[in-house]
Amino acid sequence: MKLFKLAVLGLVLIPGSILAASCNENGSSANDADSQTSNNSSNSQVSNNCITEKEVIKAQETWANAIVEIGETYKNKGDYKTVAANTVDNLYGYDEGKVLFKPTKAAEGQFRLTEEDALSYFVKGKISEDKGFALQPWSKVRFENAGVSVSCSDAVAMGNYYFTDANTNKETKVEYTFGYRKSEDGKLLIDLHHSSLPFNP
């Protein structure tokens, strides 16, 4: 009789331990699933903040329009220096870190690593060789990308851009490389700008 009771007790305990293990496994699976969902959500947020090629193209259009606006303001005897200062301040990342800017028509001051030097190039200033590139004025600027390389936190575009002289309607072809990074408020800022006239043998 004693042996029979022990056998019955064993039959009760074994299924109980199996059930407990099963519950633990299910709980673990649920926790893993919740964790995976959380990670996916986090990854989705990161992904949504990544730079896109569409944003690069939009940034190029904004830059082109700003160059035209500076020239138009100058031609109409407006406050073109303020327009240019706002352009450099809003489109370039000088306030947030390094900007590597090598303008097209620059020989003495080839590299414009400060906001003040960049502004001088566009509208004349502290660097004597500057004639005010944006004061031409230009009636249109259009970009033709040879390629755009995009990662989550930065982007680079290379190609030709064409500047139409507002006085003669003549178009000038210039080579460019622009680099971008995204600011905390989600705006693309230029952190690399290299520009040069095509090789003429």
pTM of the entire structure?
Answer: 0.77
Span 70-96, pLDDT tens digits: 999 999 999 999 999 999 999 999 999
Give helix 53-75 / helix 115-123 axis angle, nearest 10°. 50
What values do phi and psi take at 59, rounded to 5? -65, -35
Q: Does the structure show a pLDDT above 70 at 14?
A: no
As a whole number, the mean pLDDT across the chain is 84
pLDDT value at residue 128: 95
CA distance 201 to 194: 21
Among 173, 176, 174, 181, CA closest to 193: 176
pLDDT value at residue 20: 41
Helix (H) or strand (E) holding 148: strand 138-150
Q: Does the structure show a pLDDT above 80 at 195?
A: yes
Burial of 166 (0-12, 13-18, 19+ CB in 10 A): middle
Domain coordinates in residue numbering, the chain: 1-48, 53-196
Span 152-187, pLDDT tens digits: 999 999 999 999 999 999 999 999 999 999 998 899
Among 129, 127, 124, CA closest to 113: 127
Rounded to the nearest 5 degrees, what angle is found at the Cα of 181, between the Cα atoms of 178 and 185?
A: 135
53-196 CATH fold: Nuclear Transport Factor 2; Chain: A, (3.10.450)
pLDDT value at residue 36: 52
C-alpha dihedral, 63 to 137 to 82 to 100, nearest 10°: 50
Q: Does the structure show a pLDDT above 70 at 9?
A: no
